[in-house]
Amino acid sequence: MSSLPFFHLIQDDLQRAETLLQEPAPDQHLAITGAVQHLLGSGGKRLRPALVFLSSHICQADLTLATFAAAGVEMLHTATLVHDDLIDGSLMRRGTETLNARWSPAATVLTGDYLFARAAYWVARTGNVRLVQRFAETLMVICNGEIRQMFDSRSDQGIRIPTFEEYEQRIYAKTASLIALSAEAGAILAHTDEATIDALRTYGESLGLAFQVVDDVLDFIADERTLGKPVGSDLRQGLITLPVLLFLEGNGDHPALRSILTSSFTNERLQEAVRVIGNSPAIERSLQIARDYVRKAKEALRGFPFSPYQTALMDLADFVVQRQF
């Protein structure tokens, strides 16, 4: 994503953050150094560091401090992916092997923990107590969301169907909370007024919700090469995303989907469910909800003076619902 036109403004900033991310800590084990290089080189979008820099430019924050914050949020994101892949048993991400495909669960968990600590180190380098607090709060939200998903997603009858509010809460914890932190980081570093911080946080939260909804749609309509993982992988794991939720409103008795919800499905049933959902009105309805989130994100930017950086944030919001289509 960093090669997109609206990120050209911050290419030098992103390169400084990339250099920092690759910098090993003193006495860092070579295995961890290799793991970091593997993880960071696997095609990540660098959306979160870009948001830190764009908001920092808009609010005229110190760019040295912004670089520390950008490295911190990207390292936190990377750490969550390490643990997510282990929890889900995923062996591939973005077309490359996951860490747990190479290492034991113990080594994978410890590496994820190390990356969490490294992320906290970079954010602490900003010397901004409020940003450190927001970093810790966001990590708690992410972990709490994972635990909630583990314990609340199933009932005695099989997979439990969430409400829309529960789905939104889950994707906020999974994706939008860290994107919101990234967007507000520049305002926090610049010690701006609360209205400015709130506006950028609202932008990031709404952008993150839209981003995850589109990801959930792509799980049904993109090809495996584009996704970097098997199509329908969320459904295979029993995860009810928005397209499934909307499809169920009028098709609750569909045999293929019903077999998945009761955890007694074959690969053929899964492929059938992916096909019928992917060709249903639930896809366009989901995308419309993503567009509504984007509209809210852009509205949060209306109070900022016109600048190339504000335009970049506007363009980024539009891109989120257009990617891969």
pLDDT digits (tens, 9 = 90+) for 161-186: 899 999 999 999 999 999 999 999 99
Give me the pLDDT at residue 325, please. 45
Task: Give the mean model confidence (pLDDT) for residues 302-308.
Answer: 95
Whether the pLDDT of residue 4 is over 90: the answer is no
Token pair 């709404």: residue: 206
DSSP one-letter string for 75-116: HHHHHHHHHHHHHHT--EETTEE-GGGTS-HHHHHHHHHHHH
pLDDT digits (tens, 9 = 90+) for 128-159: 999 999 999 999 999 999 999 888 877 656 78
Q: CA triplet 45, 47, 50: central angle to 5 degrees?
A: 125
Query: Which of residues 154 and 41 earns the better pLDDT score?
Result: 41
Residue 19: phi, psi to the nearest 5?
A: -60, -40
With a pLDDT cut of 90, the percent of the chain lying above it is 70
Which residues, 6 or more positions from 268, have their beta carbon under 8 angstroms from its beta carbon? none
Helix (H, G, I), strand (E, B) or coil at 158: strand
Band of pLDDT at residue 233, cut at 50, 70 and 90: confident
Give me the pLDDT at residue 230, please. 66
Distance in angstroms (rounded) separating the CA atoms of residues 108 and 100: 6
Whether the pLDDT of residue 277 is over 70: the answer is yes
pLDDT digits (tens, 9 = 90+) for 70-118: 999 999 999 999 988 888 777 777 778 888 888 999 999 999 999 999 9
Give me the pLDDT at residue 227, please. 57
Pure H helices in the chain: 11-22, 30-40, 47-59, 63-88, 105-124, 129-152, 164-171, 177-189, 194-221, 224-227, 233-236, 242-251, 255-261, 267-278, 281-300, 308-320
Give me the pLDDT at residue 97, please. 85
Which residues, 6 or more positions from 6, have their beta carbon under 8 angstroms from its beta carbon? 311, 312, 315, 316, 319
Task: Name the average pLDDT for the chain.
Answer: 91
Task: Give the mean model confidence (pLDDT) for residues 260-275.
Answer: 84
Whether the pLDDT of residue 238 is over 90: the answer is no
Question: CA torsion sign, 297 to 301 to 124 to 73?
Answer: positive
Give me the pLDDT at residue 223, please. 75
**Strand-pair category, 96-97 with 92-93:** antiparallel
CATH architecture for the domain at 8-216+290-320: Orthogonal Bundle (1.10)
Band of pLDDT at residue 323, cut at 50, 70 and 90: confident
Task: Give the mean model confidence (pLDDT) for residues 11-27.
Answer: 95
pTM > 0.75 = yes
